[in-house]
């Protein structure tokens, strides 16, 4: 199994595409073993992270996207960032978000 993130910049606009490939028996029935493709306009996905539970987390400039499904992953949950972020950090159980705020520091975390 493989997940690939591709960024397309055309005429100054971005579009990130996450594509899932399955090289097992399920993927053999699909063209090029592609079991799912999802595009996000005006978004830059900077990182894909697999968790211990087999879910995939996509970290973008606009928010977080969770993909679930062992054989054919699909987006299950999306969290949009409320304001500009400073950083994103994670482990196998949680993802944390550090927001940029000159007046005070704020952290938020979500369960994976």
Domain boundaries, the chain: 2-80
Interior/surface letters 40-56, b for 16+ CB within 10 angstroms, e for the rest: beebebeeebebeeebb
Distance of alpha carbon 8 from alpha carbon 76, whole angstroms: 23
Helix (H) or strand (E) holding 7: strand 2-10
The answer, yes or no, to whether residue 112 has pLDDT greater than 70, is no
Average pLDDT, the chain: 89
Helix (H) or strand (E) holding 76: strand 74-80
For 59-77, what is each residue's pLDDT tens digit? 999 999 999 998 999 999 9
**Exposed, middle or buried: residue 33 (CB in 10 Å: 0-12, 13-18, 19+)?**
middle
């Amino acid at each position: 199994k493989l997940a690939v993130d591709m960024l397309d910049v055309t005429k100054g606009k971005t579009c990130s595409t996450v594509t899932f490939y399955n090289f097992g028996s399920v993927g053999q029935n699909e063209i090029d073993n592609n079991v799912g493709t999802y595009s996000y306009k005006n978004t830059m996905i900077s990182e894909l992270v697999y968790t211990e539970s087999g879910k995939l987390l996509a970290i973008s400039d606009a928010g977080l996207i969770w993909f679930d499904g062992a054989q054919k992953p699909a987006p299950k949950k999306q969290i949009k960032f409320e304001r500009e972020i400073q950083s994103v950090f994670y482990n196998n159980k949680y993802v944390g978000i550090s927001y940029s705020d000159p007046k005070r520091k704020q952290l938020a975390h979500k369960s994976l």
